[in-house]
Chains A and B, each alone.
Chain A
Amino acid sequence: MSRVPVTILTGFLGAGKTTLLNRILTEHHGRRIAVIENEFGEIGIDQGLVVNADEEVFEMSNGCICCTVRGDLIRVLGNLGKRRDKFDYVLVETTGLADPGPVAQTFFMDDDIAAEYALDGIVTVVDAVHVDQQLGRSRETEEQIAFADVVVLNKTDLVEERRLDELEARIRSMNGVTAMHRASFGSVAVDVLLDQRSFDLTVALDRRPTFLEPEYPFEWTGVYRLDPGTHTLRFDAGPDPTMGLAVLPLPAATSEALEAGAERCVRVFAEPPACVRAGDQVTPGHHVDAALDAVEQTAVTLLIGEGTGEQLYGLFCEHLAEEYHPTVTTADGATIAPVIERAWVAAHEHDESVTSGGIEADGNVDGDRLNQWLGELLDDKGTDLFRMKGFLAVAGETDRVVFQGVHMLLDSQPGRPWGDEPRRNQLVFIGRDLDADELRAGFQACLV
């Protein structure tokens, strides 16, 4: 008997859950959807089979948060199962204040529900206009983002493009594995919301988890068209005594080329910097720390070697251009304006308590040590660990081990065989107040 898929729709009050719900219901997708609603929205729902139920969080007598389930869902889903021929999909619209943990746990902890229903995914609607105010103030909003398999960034028509980029980066820093879609008035294709099988380990491998965008160690890049020869690079004085920088050749003045360049530059910045002072020479391809004068402008010489003639270069700077006003001049003293420039949203700008962290490591892990480490981790941090996903190369196993977890509930199964591919491990953790270094160290200790 195939289980009925269930999608949970969360989001802060006013984010546009009901609008999105109505869009899903009115689109011609051929599904007969039953809706369980915890909130009487400002807009009615255009659908016959809608059940209203008050949220009832059932804590367990043992006090374990990870065993907490939602009694209203157990009751309503149990009853809906007795009219199975009338629907083939369930949408649960939670209140804006709902904790998604117990909602998700219900599908794994309750025997009757697990037998008949399969959690398909958690869709979180985020109000692009107000989410900045909600984050940091509302644990619920943070947790709804942390648990999401799909984030719909709604009301994007009311927000500038650049703000949207920043918001996306902020949301990514909290949940590095969620799919993200921009929308206004809930305009998202139904097929990116429903039937995602986000909790199905058999398809987990087909979608490589999108890992976190790196936290860029630079905040600004200007792209300049430079001839071979000597140039002067000037910075204003600012609050910092040094300016980390690197100059890298770029193939084009496009945002794609810039992003690819930024990835390369992350590695350049990982090298120990050469310290330079005013008047020293800087060449492309190296990480440099320029000592800045506390009051006056500081100038260094940028030497572009003889090559193929005029060429595009990216100047990647540790600090923002609006603070230090970097300028590039030719030997003749002519100022060269950047072709394009871009500020990088540094993830560390926001001090989120909810973050996601990734671990990537080549080689094999010891199964016993890993189990012990995970067991201790879940005992210790299960409450603060919201989601976990990944795959592992376990020593002695010919197949990948795919796993994922909600709080302390952990599920794993064999995935594709490794064959000739290099064996490696990828994990993503999403949680509150996680110590990424500690997690990495704990995992490293499990490597063979």
Chain B
Amino acid sequence: MPGLTGRVAQRRRAGVLRQGWSHLLDDYPTALAWACGGRLVMTVDSSGALTAVDAARSDIVWSVADAHEPGPVHLAVGGPSFVVSAGADGVVASRDATTGALRWRHELGAAWLDTISVSPDGSRIATAAGRYVHRWSADGGDAWNSFEHPSTVAAVAWTPGGELVTASFGAVCVFGDEPEPKTRFEWPGSLVSLVLSPDGEVVACGSQDNTVHFWRTATGTDAAMYGYPAKPNALAFDDASRLLATGGGEAVTVWVFGDGGPEGTTPGVLDAHADTVTSLAFAPRSTTLASGGRDGGVLVWRLGPDGNGDAVGFDVCDGRIEAVAWRPDGRSLAAIDASGHLTTWRTGS
């Protein structure tokens, strides 16, 4: 893409990352997800186009050029069957993942939609529109919205039981069926990112003041991790709810939960990116971690129980990495970068 990046195209292969195919999209890609059990890779770009690519054959299975007005679009996949997207045009739409056929569409008005998320069981969908979050059931019905948060909702997540969780300035809110939150975890700073441990016991947030703050949901006890050189935008928990990988600088910092930690423990530090870490994802049911950076680097790490580990795979894309995502079987990795490329790799030792 002209004008997007000055980074020289440079493809290198190393370790477990074996490059598969790469697609050049029409515009800046903003979100990425695997669908249909790993058969398709979905992406959206700032032209408003939604594209589904066959992971094995690399051909485009379907695409919708004007799924949204131009602007950043967010994307999430639910269950085996549907994909939802939300854009700067204030539209939320659900499509059949296999065919791209529109299932339902809601116009929320002027608000710029900042995130979209599907509950772990695929039964609920939520999006953040300014200071509100909106929630529907998977069929687009049962519309519900939250109270007006004191500031714009930066991120949403779900408890294992399907309760909606939001992060904004000053608090994490957990919602039942009332518009008012049933639980609030407060912190006098701006929370910019959010992750829940898969067992639901820990909620962690990156904060604008370059800290990671976490709460134990059962007791509400909290702790903060200081010392990040930048705000931790990227957070990821492994499936065992034991390792929390955090960005917030060029290094990935991994906190180990359990055995009394992470309070008072030394985190694992994964140092290889040449610029800020932008995206993190654990492979399913494993302690293998993928990291993407502003430097265009994509790395795969094998982590030990102490959160330290070695980079076992490495590649460089043409622009800053927007997102990395593992195929549900953990055997492929996909990334989108600022040069407009959607790239996949096969991973294996």
Complex interface: stretch among A65-73, A226-234, A315-323, A400-408:
A65-73
A84 touches B28 (CB 8 A): yes
Asked whether A399 is an interface residue with its Cβ less than 8 Å from the other chain, the reply is no
CB distance from B28 to the nearest CB of A (A): 5
Residues of A within 8 A of B1 (CB): 85
Q: Given A71-B169, A72-B152, A85-B1: A51 and B209 within 8 A (CB)?
A: no
Interface of B: prevailing SS:
loop
Q: How far is the CA of A111 from the CA of B231 in the complex (A)?
A: 7
Asked whether B110 is an interface residue with its Cβ less than 8 Å from the other chain, the reply is yes
Residues of A within 8 A of B159 (CB): none
Residues of B within 8 A of A83 (CB): 27-28, 46, 70-72
Asked whether B233 is an interface residue with its Cβ less than 8 Å from the other chain, the reply is yes
CB distance from B331 to the nearest CB of A (A): 29
From the candidates B114, B209, B322, name the one contacting A61 in the complex (CB within 8 A).
B209
Asked whether B188 is an interface residue with its Cβ less than 8 Å from the other chain, the reply is yes
Query: How would residues 1 to 16 of chain B score, 1 for a CB under 8 Å from any chain A CB and 0 otherwise?
Result: 1111111000000000
CB distance from B288 to the nearest CB of A (A): 27
Q: How far is the CA of A111 from the CA of B88 in the complex (A)?
A: 23
B209 touches A56 (CB 8 A): no
Q: Closest residue to B210 on the A side, CB-wise? A: A111
Asked whether A110 is an interface residue with its Cβ less than 8 Å from the other chain, the reply is yes
Task: Scan residues 124-179 of chain B and give those whose CB is less than 8 A from a CB of chain A.
Answer: 130, 151-152, 154, 169
Q: Given A1-B5, A51-B112, A111-B231: A82 and B207 within 8 A (CB)?
A: no
Task: Scan residues 38-78 of chain A and give those whose CB is less than 8 A from a CB of chain B.
Answer: 51-52, 54, 56, 58-62, 67, 69, 71-72, 74-76
Number of interface residues of B (CB under 8 A): 38
Q: Closest residue to B213 on the A side, CB-wise? A: A61
Interface size on A, as a range, is 20 to 34
B6 touches A111 (CB 8 A): no
Residues of A within 8 A of B190 (CB): 58, 60, 71
CB distance from B229 to the nearest CB of A (A): 8
Q: Given A79-B88, A83-B70, A83-B72: A54 and B130 within 8 A (CB)?
A: yes
Q: How far is the CA of A227 from the CA of B294 in the complex (A)?
A: 78
Asked whether A115 is an interface residue with its Cβ less than 8 Å from the other chain, the reply is yes
From the candidates A56, A59, A84, name the one contacting B188 in the complex (CB within 8 A).
A59
B151 touches A56 (CB 8 A): yes
A67 touches B209 (CB 8 A): yes
Task: Scan residues 361-380 of chain A and give those whose CB is less than 8 A from a CB of chain B.
Answer: none
Q: How far is the CA of A72 from the CA of B169 in the complex (A)?
A: 11
Q: Closest residue to A115 on the B side, CB-wise? A: B294
A61 touches B72 (CB 8 A): no
Task: Scan residues 127-161 of chain A and give those whose CB is less than 8 A from a CB of chain B.
Answer: none
Task: Scan residues 169-208 of chain B and give those whose CB is less than 8 A from a CB of chain A.
Answer: 169, 187-190, 207-208
CB distance from B164 to the nearest CB of A (A): 20
B110 touches A52 (CB 8 A): yes
Q: How far is the CA of A58 from the CA of B5 in the complex (A)?
A: 30
Asked whether B276 is an interface residue with its Cβ less than 8 Å from the other chain, the reply is yes
Residues of A within 8 A of B253 (CB): none
Q: How far is the CA of A51 from the CA of B322 in the complex (A)?
A: 22
Residue in B27, B209, B276 with the greatest tally of chain A CB atoms within 10 Å: B209
A-B CB contact pairs (8 Å), 20 listed: A1-B6, A1-B7, A56-B169, A58-B151, A58-B189, A59-B188, A59-B189, A60-B209, A71-B169, A71-B190, A76-B112, A79-B72, A79-B112, A84-B28, A85-B4, A85-B28, A86-B70, A110-B208, A110-B231, A111-B230
Interface residues of B, Cβ cutoff 8 Å to A: 1-7, 27-28, 30, 46, 70-72, 88, 110, 112, 114, 130, 151-152, 154, 169, 187-190, 207-209, 211, 229-231, 233, 276, 294, 322
Interface residues of A, Cβ cutoff 8 Å to B: 1, 51-52, 54, 56, 58-62, 67, 69, 71-72, 74-76, 79, 82-86, 110-112, 115
